[in-house]
Amino acid sequence: MPENNYYKNLPKKRIAAGALFFNENNELLIVKPTYKNHWSIPGGVVEKDESPRDGCIREVKEEIGLDIDIKKFLCADYIYISSEEREGIIFVFYGGVLTPFQIENIKLSKEEISECKFLKTEEALPLLSKIAERRIAKSLEVLKNDTPVYSENFN
């Protein structure tokens, strides 16, 4: 069937999703992946037949052991890294303010995450990749003005 060939030949893009979490002092939670040179926010690659929101919920549970229902969308960011011929769409959601009980119960996936910490945003952002730093800064602005954003980061 011609229609089947049409869909088989469409390009495939990587989709990932992450969430912003804060503590009661308005500090941002960042995690140090074992497979990256920079820090990140909890989240990861969305699997086949999984929505970005569901992927974010699953990845948060896998990486930091918290089962949190994420509802608020902040940002969609198209990325293209020419040096690696890699492209994707990254979704950022708001995970909320974690309670002391939730923070005490963070359990890191040692295969994926070596450590986590809460930092003031101005301290946390420079620890991220440049592309992620821009994306998270835009997402933080959304929390102030409640208007989700779409962005494109090219490298």
pLDDT of res. 1: 45
Residue 150's domain comprises 12-154
Asked if residue 80 belongs to a domain, the reply is yes
Which stretches of the chain drop beneath a pLDDT of 70?
A: 1-4, 7, 10, 83-85, 154-155
- Report residue 98: phi and psi, to 5°: -80, 140
C-alpha–C-alpha distance, residues 107 and 130, integer Å:
27
- On whether the pTM is more than 0.85, the answer is yes
Half-sphere exposure for 50 (CA within 13 Å, toward CB): 17
CATH number for 99: 3.90.79.10
Distance CA 94, CA 83 (A): 30
Is 137 strand, coil or helix? helix
Count of the separate structural domains present in the chain: 1
Two structure tokens written together for 40:
């990140």
